[in-house]
């Protein structure tokens, strides 16, 4: 089965990582975290922003970019950058038969230029007003993840309310 992998390059804000952990847990995506971090990696730093989905998130930590690259040599990277020239919706993820890695850079500076240049054909941006610099990284992860899932028709995700029942509004 196809899988989405979210890659965070040197994240700086624990609350953003917590929110992204929540998105990963609820979309069955794997999370890859490349150090160094701008915070102490501790469950307490993620509890509120992850809505306690810390345990439900499958995550991997890497010492640096080199460590990530060595452990994921076949990773097909799609990089979010304000320098991207097309939206993520312009990629046809239904035609890709391997795991997809959506990469997001650190909040202050993004993904390093050399990584973007090496993956230039897979760089994307989220359209916004011309004077805008960037969206919050957690929002960006959600937008990109759900675009891929939309194209895949939401595999293994529930399309109806389960806890209160899919007919909740009818009663």
Residues that constitute the known binding site: 80, 105, 126, 134
Residue 54: the pLDDT is: 63
d(CA 147, CA 154): 10
Instruction: Name residue 60's beta-bridge partners.
Output: 32
pLDDT score recorded for residue 4: 96
Spatial neighbors of 112 by CB under 8 A, at least 6 apart, are 9, 65, 105
Domain count, the chain: 1
The predicted structure's pLDDT at residue 44:
75
Which residues share a beta bridge with 102?
6, 78
Contact 33, 12 (CB under 8 A): no
User: What's the CATH number where 43 sits?
Assistant: 3.40.1280.10
State residue 42's pLDDT score: 82
Which domain range does residue 87 map to?
4-170
Each residue's pLDDT tens digit in the chain (171 positions)?
Answer: 689 999 999 999 999 999 999 999 999 999 999 999 998 888 777 666 555 566 788 999 999 999 999 999 999 999 999 999 999 999 999 999 899 999 999 999 999 999 999 999 999 999 999 998 889 999 999 999 999 999 999 998 999 999 899 999 998
If you write DSSP's letter for every residue of 76-113 in order, what string do you get?
A: EEEEE-TT-SS-GGGS-GGG--S-EEEEE-BTTTBS-H
Q: Which residues are annotated as a binding site for S-adenosyl-L-methionine?
A: 80, 105, 126, 134
């Amino acid at each position: 089965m196809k899988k989405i992998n979210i890659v965070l390059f040197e994240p700086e804000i624990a609350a953003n990582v917590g929110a992204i952990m929540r998105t990963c847990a609820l979309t069955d995506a794997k999370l890859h975290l490349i150090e160094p971090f701008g915070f102490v990696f501790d469950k307490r730093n993620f509890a509120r922003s992850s809505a306690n989905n810390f345990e439900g998130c499958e995550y991997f930590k890497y010492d640096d970019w080199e460590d990530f690259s060595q452990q994921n040599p076949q990773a097909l990277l799609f990089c979010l950058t304000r320098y991207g020239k097309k939206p993520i919706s312009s990629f046809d993820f239904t035609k890709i038969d391997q795991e997809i890695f959506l990469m997001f850079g650190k909040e202050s500076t993004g993904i390093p230029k050399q990584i973007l240049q090496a993956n230039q054909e897979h760089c994307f941006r989220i359209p916004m007003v011309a004077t805008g610099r960037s969206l919050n990284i957690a929002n960006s992860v959600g937008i990109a993840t759900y675009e891929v899932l939309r194209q895949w028709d939401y595999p293994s995700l529930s399309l109806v309310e389960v806890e209160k029942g899919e007919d909740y509004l009818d009663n």
